[in-house]
A and B are shown apart, each in its own frame.
Chain A
Amino acid sequence: MKMRWKALHESLHGFGAPCLLLFCVILALAGPAMAADPALEKALESMDPSLLRGKTQAQIRAELPLSAAYRDETSPLEEEIEVLVDGEVRAVSIVRYLSDLEIMQYRGDVLWTCIAAFLVFFMQAGFALLEAGFTRAKNAVNICMKNIMDFSIGTMAFLAVGFHLMFAGPEVNLFWLGETTATQWGFPFWLFQCVFAATTATIVSGGMAERTKFHSYIIYSVVICAFIYPTFGGWAWGSLLDGEGWLESVLGVGFYDFAGSTVVHSIGGWLALAGTLVLGPRIGKFDAKGRPRAIPGHSLPFAVLGGFILWLGWFGFNPGSTTTFDGMLARIAVMTNIAAAAGALGAVATIWLVARKPDVGMTVNGFLAGLVAICTSVDVVGPTGAFCIGLGGGILVVLSVLFLERVFKIDDPVGAISVHGVCGAWGTMAYAFFGVESFSLTVLAAQAIGVATGFAWAFGTGMALFLGIKYTIGLRVSAEEEVAGLDILEHGNEAYSGFQIDPHA
């Protein structure tokens, strides 16, 4: 999600404003220009007059947006250019309007960011099918309702509070969109961020499936999208708009998470971990001696279709994270695909060795694990790096699912903790090995700080949230309701009316 403003502007000026002698663009506020500065006059003389539209610098300056983060095609921008005055290179700050090419670039950014956001939105459908397929038919309506609700409620929570917490600069109001509505860029940016926030919430529903009260689910969805996700997101990504996050500069090198292995996926995974621990396993998941029993999902083709939809959605999730319409997006899409395929291969090989059968559920988890793991460094790795990160994710997810179930006795029906939590952490750490030119302990430490902070924050707030719900309105349905299925008693619906449903437990 790192917006590369500098790179964008450099590429633009190459053809957008050829009359400039020398330039270097600095987004941050440059010093105010003096009216009678000879360097400024020279800079203005050398500029295409159409970029000034006959206005004085003071007039244009009055139209500047809140900060350069709130851009659009009509607002002027401020840039620092260097001019030669009396044989001396001087830097001056000028304000000007966008050239036609820059306007087209801006519109391209909007278009691509929106298309990517639509693809990420479609991941909600993927999650709904994946989670419904991996669970029993008697709970399919409940799973679908949770996926509808966490997007709808998540949208409102992120709109009302979350977006402000994550991205607002000092003394700026972004509650209910707030000051972003003054410029166009706030909209595509908000949409893309909103679908990300909802993704985090929806990850949790899979881990806590088949035994959580519906109204309790609504409450925690609000808290996740309004508070837990945006707070950590602000620490790691605040400067993508106008905020500032301490993780972005930690240890000097900064914590790097391009598209959210940690910020989105691990946070969701660790929240699911807290939720499953507070909830406890489903009835019948472990026998009297504590050995895990299989509770097969009711539609593996649904789960596979959901997995493929998520894979498709990831082509928006990762390549869209530049929020820039440029040549990078194909490269990022290719690396995304390599990691997903490698994840599937890693998982199928591992489960084949362990259980002597190529299990389809684990294979779906495998490519999802590869996709989760590659998010952090998808914009910087090469094909080999993407392969290694994806393969590692695929192997790790199988071992993690079996380990959590057999050793920690954690019941995670869809593997959400392993796919998103564990493989998100793996991908974030892997940046230090595959994403940088030469390995550095400082980079590794910065990534570790991000991973550890993410775990402490999500698991800590998650435990507080779920325990709070458990001891007030209750988190888990009654045993009677769990056995009968949540569909009929929570929603009054049947997913497959007319079919005799085998409770299978």
Chain B
Amino acid sequence: MKKIEAIIKPFKIEEIKNALDAIGVKGMTINEVRGYGRQRGHKEIYRGTEYNVEFIPKVKIDLVVEDAMLERTLETITEVARTGKVGDGKLFVLPIENAVRVRTGESGPSAL
């Protein structure tokens, strides 16, 4: 099993959720987060004075998939989340030791 942490543009979340649904991803958890990458925030103007917004609002998706699903899931997120402009986000992949489904007590990939 692998965990994907996907940091994406907030307005893309619906589209990504639907696309992942379609390829059989069974669930995800999202967070509203703020951060910056290479673009280093952006500039805003208030009453004639420019200021830098260092931390830009993003959405972080946490989801765990079976190893066999990993590549396809990463491809789908990358494809749907991409606008081609700076700030499209990043995906991180982490190994997962185990998973437990609370209602049934199942563990391992069948718990997903």
**Chain A: interface residue count, which band?**
10 to 19
Partner of B48, one of A296, A297, A351: A351
- State whether the Cβ of A410 lies closer than 8 Å to any Cβ in chain B: no
> CA–CA, A480 to B50, complex, Å?
26
Query: Could you tell me the distance between the alpha carbons of A411 and B101 in the complex, rounded to whole angstroms?
Result: 57
Interface residues of A in 114-131 (CB under 8 A from B): none
| B46: Cβ under 8 A from any A Cβ | yes
Residue of A294, A357, A359 ringed by the most chain B CB atoms within 10 A: A294
Would you give the 0/1 interface string for A430-473, flagging 1 where the beta carbon is closer than 8 Å to chain B?
00000000000000000000000000000000000000000000
Contact between chains at A398 and B49 (CB < 8 Å): no
* Proximity string of chain A (356-383) to chain B, C-beta cutoff 8 Å, 1 when within and 0 when not: 0101011000000000000000000000
Tell me whether B47 and A357 are in contact (CB under 8 A): no
The reply to whether A359 and B51 contact each other, CB–CB distance below 8 Å, is no
B46 / chain A contacts, CB cutoff of 8 Å: 294-297, 359, 361
User: In the assembled complex, how far is the CB of residue A395 from the closest CB belonging to chain B, in whole angstroms?
Assistant: 13
B45 interface residue (CB < 8 Å to A):
yes
Q: Are B45 and A293 in contact (CB under 8 A)?
A: no
Residues of A within 8 A of B45 (CB): 294, 355, 357, 359
A257 interface contact, C-beta 8 A: no
Please, which residues of chain B bring their CB within 8 A of the CB of A351? Answer: 48
Interface size on B (CB < 8 Å)? 8
A415 to B48, CA, bound (A): 12
Please report the C-alpha to C-alpha distance between residue A207 and residue B87 in the assembled complex, in whole angstroms. 38
Please report which residues of chain A, range 251-308, place their CB below 8 angstroms from some CB of chain B when the two chains form the complex. Answer: 292-297
* A17 in the interface (beta carbon within 8 A): no
B49 partner residues in chain A, CB cutoff 8 A: 292-294, 405
Digitize B39-56: 1 where CB-to-A-CB distance is under 8 Å, 0 elsewhere.
000001111111100000
Residues of chain B within 8 A (CB-CB) of A405 are 49
A401 and B47 within 8 A (CB): yes
CB <8 Å contact, A355 and B51: no
A483 at interface (Cβ–Cβ under 8 A)? no
User: Does A328 lie at the interface of the complex (its beta carbon under 8 Å from any beta carbon of B)?
Assistant: no
User: Given the complex of chains A and B, what is the CA–CA distance between A357 and B51 in angstroms?
Assistant: 13
Report Cα–Cα, A401/B48, bound state, in Å. 9
For B50, the chain A residues whose CB sits under 8 A away are 294, 355
| Residue A34, interface by CB 8 Å | no
Complex CA distance for A150 and B49, rounded to whole angstroms: 31
Residues of B that sit less than 8 Å from A by CB: 44-51
